[in-house]
Each structure stands twice: as C-alpha cells, then as structure tokens.
Amino acid sequence: MLLVTISRNQYEYDIHSLVKAFYPEEEVKVILKEESSCFVYGDLFLDIIFEGDLQEPDQRDLLCVTACQSGLIREIRIEQEADRTEYRNILKQMLYQVLSETTGQALPWGTLTGIRPTKIPMTLLEEGRSHSEISEHMKKTYLISDEKAALGIEIADRELQILKKINYKNGYSLYIGIPFCPTTCLYCSFTSYPIGLWKTRVEDYLQALEKEIDFVVYNMKERILDSVYIGGGTPTTLNEEQLEWLLSKLTSSFDFATVKEFTVEAGRADSISKEKLEIMKHYGVERISVNPQTMKEETLRIIGRGHSVEQVREAFYDAREAGFENINMDLILGLPGETAEDVSRTMEEIRKLSPDSLTIHSLAVKRASKLHEWIEKNGLWTLKNTNETMEIAGKAARDMGMVPYYLYRQKNMAGNFENIGYSKPDKYGLYNILIMEEKQSIMALGAGSISKVVYEDGRIERADNVKDPKLYIEQIEEMIKRKKKLFCIEI
Ligand code: SF4
C-alpha cells in the first residue's frame, strides 16, 4: 500500500488519481497527517503540505510535496491570485514531477486523470483558440506528450464539425439497456447477468421497460429525439420475438423521423442470428456492433467470450448480407498474454473484414471484475499494453481509411492509455460523441442505466436506475419518479 499524508482535507481525489496513474497495481491511501500515527514512518510514501490559506488576503500559500523514501522535495509559494483550478494544476504538476522522477516514467496524458481529456481542447476550440495555442496550453498546464496533445485536438476538432450538423442542445438521446449476456467476460464491469439464469424473468424485465418507454413517450413529446442506442449487456441475447417486440414498441411509440442514428450493440457473436439481423434491419436499425475484442482463439477462451474467431467472421458476414452498411467492431489491447504480434495478427484479420468503424480499448482492470481475481492468480505481467501495440492498432485503423473521432479514458487502464473510436467517413457513432463529450441530455432506460440532464451553463445532473434486474422490475415506479424529478416533470 502507498500511503500519502496531507496537511488538510483538499484535493484528495486528484492526488489519489495521479498516484494511482503511476502505480495502477498498488492500493493508494490518502489521509490527513494527524491520522497517520497508526502507521510507521517507513509506510509513508508521499507527504503533502498546504500551508497558509488562500482565502486570507495577506497570506501566500506554501505547497510542498516530499517523496518520503527518496527525500525528493518540491516546494513552491503560490500567488494569491491563483484560483482553485490553477492551484490544483500547480499541485498536480509538482506531484507529477516527484512521481515521474521517483519512477523514471512519463505518462502520455501527463497530469490529466479524468475520463474526458478532449473536453479541454474542445472548450478552447469553441473559444476560438488556434491549434498551436491549445497544444502549448495542454503541454504546459497538463504536461501531456506532443502526440496526445495533437490527438486530443484532432478529435475535438472533428467532433465539433460533426456536432455542427445537428441542433443537439434542443434535442435528447435515448438509451435502452438490456443487462443480459450469454456469459460473463473475464474483464466485465458493466451491468451484465448471464441470460441462462434470467431466462424466466426477461418478459417481466421487458414489461418494466415498457412502463419507462411509455413514460418517456408521453413526457418528452415536445423534445426532438436525435439518437437511439440499445446497449447493455448484449441486447441480442433477447430471443427473436422479444427483440422484435422491443424494436416494434420503440419505432411505433417515438417519432423516428428526427432520429439521426439508431444503434444496437449486438456485441457478442454468440448472440447474433440471421433472423435477429433481419428483424433489426426491418425496424430501421442502421448501426450495429459485432465485437471480437481479439481475433486470437486462445485469448477468447481465456477471457470467457464463449465464441470463436470463426463465429465473429460469420456474424459479420451475415450482418453485411442483411444489408448493414455501418458495422462497428470493438477491440481490446492488453488482454492476458497478448503480444504485439498478436495485435498485428488481429488487425490483419480485421482488415480482411473491413468494418466501418473500430473502437480500440485499452484493458481496464476493475475491482468488480473477475479479471481482478485472475491477476492475483496469474500475475500482472501477463497484461501488456504498450505504445507499440497502440500504434499498431491505430496505424491499422488509419490504413483502413479510418480517422479517430472520439476518445475517452477509464480508471486503471493498462499502460494508462485511452480508448479511441475510429471510423470511415460518415460512419462515426453520433451517440458516442454526445455521451462522451456530455453535450446532450440522455434519457436512459433499463437496469443500471444513468440518465443525465445537461444544462446550458454546462452543469450536469444525473439519476441512475438500480443495477439488479430483479430490483429494477420491482422498483420500476421509483425509477420513473427519479426521471420525473431529474427532467423536472410534474409529479
Ligand atoms: S459482452 Fe460486454 S457486457 Fe457482456 S459480459 Fe462481456 S464485457 Fe460484459
């Protein structure tokens, strides 16, 4: 465990996130200095002193970061004019320098630990700043690499061009969560329950979902629906009749004339049938995902995907045959035992299929996943995501005629990299941009989904549904009440 002491309760979350970014496999604890008496000095990793109080006009804050084991010290007096954001940036820069010198490591995203790094270049672009000004600002303030600054600006610029085409501020998007999967993948941290165990409750689940749908149809009729995304879990774990019922319910209830994108995340190849593809096509679904994660058979077995490489190919070709012209594929880098050669081979197989978009993820190890236990048994060294594999995958995507169009990060990602969505021209996922850049209100239905309202001033409020499908079914009226409150609908 890495113990960090602070002299007063301030910026604990930022400190914790940055130390964790350098030491993803360690437990990190940030506590007040006076609470550290039960630890021996040798336990201390970092000591952070905030001295003075910026609220008092004639005091200047002294900030001091000490690496306890090496004795490395960084100290600075902060100008009174520094506001909270500037103060936090200075603290993170000092902390970064100490950690970087201690580990001999540089992080590609510098001090940025949040999940939406493109928000910064996007805001600056909206303010009319030039690419070179933004790049300088990102490198100086957040210590990010040249390459990541350029990537962030490229993506933010593209997103803005795409968003110009729609009046997203007045509209909303609809998310429907189907929380069932054929089996649970080793790395999964989503709301997902094995369909085999829930078969007898799926009808009840759909009935509860119907109540939420009816509520939205009635109460949002004045708003423009811009995009519809059915995710999960794996929506195609619904059988043919259930899938048809859901799509028919949605398309007959909402005005789809305004919908610019209708996506179903088919996801797992072992849940896709020709009949389901035909049903989706019939009801106007335009964009689907067929997600291999890797095209290496042995890895698919280790991560518990429950399907083969051949099944991925079959599902993909069946989708093309059914007429889908916008197929996304998700891949993960850093999977157990995978090397750069494995990633090259996967990209070669993907190139043969020629999907329309690719989402390239860096493996994120979530405490709630079975992967966490797996690492304890097999060791962390088996998970390797490197600059090299990121470059192999990125280059292959660009060679397929794709460009990066959205980006986000997660906590505890292998190599501290990012997830990037690449697409061919006009084959991007609009919903992905809207949700990741937090540009639009999302009405989210189903177990584990999170609705959010984005206000004019950028403020965001959320309301979540319970994760457990049984509770969701039982508490559906309460889920609707939460939405009424969030969207200020009279109760
Ligand atoms: S398909 Fe996705 S949601 Fe389902 S178990 Fe695997 S990772 Fe989780």
Atom of ligand 1 nearest to the CA of 183: 5
Q: Give mean pLDDT, residues 10-18.
A: 92
Q: Which of these, 101, 110, 113, 122, lies nearest to 148 by C-alpha position?
A: 110
pLDDT at 457: 87
The confidence band for 85, taking pLDDT boundaries of 50, 70 and 90, is: confident
What average pLDDT does the segment 292-319 reach?
96
Whole-number pLDDT of residue 60: 65
Query: What percent of the chain shows pLDDT beyond 90?
Result: 69
Q: How far apart are CA 347 and CA 397, in angstroms?
A: 8
Q: Does the pLDDT of residue 380 top 60, yes or no? A: yes
d(CA 94, ligand 1 centre) in Å? 39
Q: What is the mean pLDDT of residues 243-247?
A: 98
Q: Is 307 in the pocket of ligand 1 (CB under 6 A)?
A: no
Question: In this predicted structure, what is the pLDDT of residue 33?
Answer: 84
Give the SS3 label for residue 361. Answer: strand
pLDDT digits over 140-161, tens only? 999 999 999 999 999 999 999 9
Q: How far is the CA of 179 from the centre of ligand 1 (A)?
A: 9
Shortest-distance atom of ligand 1 to CA 304: 6
Cα 55 to middle of ligand 1, angstroms: 48
Alpha helix ranges (H) inside 259-322: 274-282, 297-302, 309-321
| Atom of ligand 1 minimally distant from the CA of 189 | 8
Question: Which residue, judged by its Cα, is nearest atom 6 of ligand 1?
Answer: 185
Q: Ligand 1: distance of its center to the CA of 227 in Å?
A: 23
Any ligand 1 atom below 6 A from CB of 190: yes
Shortest-distance Cα residue to atom 7 of ligand 1: 188
> What is the pLDDT of the chain when averaged over all its residues?
91
Minimum-distance ligand 1 atom for the alpha carbon of 267: 1
Contact present, 452 and 173 (Cβ < 8 Å): no
Give distance in angstroms: CA of 365 to centre of ligand 1: 14
pLDDT at position 38: 67
Mean per-residue pLDDT, 389-410: 96
Residue 251 has pLDDT above 90, yes or no: yes
The torsion angles phi and psi of 233, rounded to 5 degrees, stand at 50, -160
> Measured from the CB, is residue 235 less than 6 Å from ligand 1?
no
Please give the average per-residue pLDDT across 47-56, as a whole number.
73
- pLDDT at 243 exceeding the cut of 70: yes
Instruction: Decide if pLDDT at 82 tops 80.
Output: no
Q: Would you say residue 244 has pLDDT above 80?
A: yes
**Ligand 1 centroid to 160 CA: how many Å?**
31
Report CA(234)–ligand 1 centroid distance (Å).
Answer: 7
- Tell me, what's the pLDDT at 58? 56
pLDDT at 41 over 60: no
pLDDT band at 40 (very low <50, low <70, confident <90, very high): low
> What is this structure's pTM?
0.91
pLDDT at 490: 58
Judged against a pLDDT cut of 80, whether residue 282 lies above it is answered with yes
Q: Which of 210, 208, 276, 199 is nearest to 243 (CA)?
A: 276
- pLDDT for the residue numbered 317: 98
* Nearest one of 218, 215, 242 to 230, comparing CA atoms: 242
| pLDDT at residue 32 tops 60 | yes
Radius of gyration of the chain, Cα coordinates, nearest whole angstrom: 24
Tokens at 213, concatenated? 């749908």
Minimal-distance CA residue to ligand 1 atom 5: 184
Q: Does residue 138 surpass a pLDDT of 90?
A: yes
Q: How far is the CA of 88 from the centre of ligand 1 (A)?
A: 36
Cα 472 to averaged position of ligand 1 atoms, centre (Å): 19
Q: What is the whole-number distance in angstroms between the Cα of residue 93 and the centre of ligand 1? A: 37
For residues 274 and 306, the answer to whether their CB atoms sit within 8 Å is no
pLDDT given for residue 55 in this prediction: 59
Note the pLDDT tens digit of each residue in 418-469: 999 999 999 999 999 999 999 899 999 999 999 999 998 889 999 999 999 9
**Is the C-beta atom of 189 inside 6 A of ligand 1?**
no
CA of 366 to the centre of ligand 1 (A): 13
152 lines ligand 1 (CB under 6 A): no
Cβ 234 under 6 angstroms from ligand 1 = yes
CA–CA dist 165, 14 (Å, integer): 36
The residue whose C-alpha atom lies closest to atom 8 belonging to ligand 1 is 188
Q: Choose one of 178, 187, 188 to mutate for the ligand 1 pocket test, by most ligand atoms within 8 angstroms of C-beta.
A: 188
| CB of residue 227 inside a 6 A radius of ligand 1 | no
Evaluate whether 144 touches 112 at the Cβ level (below 8 Å): yes
Helices (H), 254-308: 274-282, 297-302
233 in contact with ligand 1, CB cutoff 6 A: yes
Non-local CB neighbours of 97 within 8 Å, separated by 6+ positions: 74
Residues 76-85 have a mean pLDDT of: 75
CA atoms of 446 and 344, how far apart (whole Å): 38
pLDDT value, residue 169: 85
Instruction: Please choose from 178, 180, 181, 195 the residue to mutate so as to test ligand 1's pocket, defined by most ligand atoms within 8 A of CB.
Output: 181
Name the nearest CA neighbour of 71 among 101, 50, 51.
101
Q: If you average pLDDT over residues 79-83, what whole number do you get?
A: 68
Nearest CA to ligand 1 atom 2: 233
Atom in ligand 1 nearest the alpha carbon of residue 305: 6
What pLDDT sits at residue 190? 86
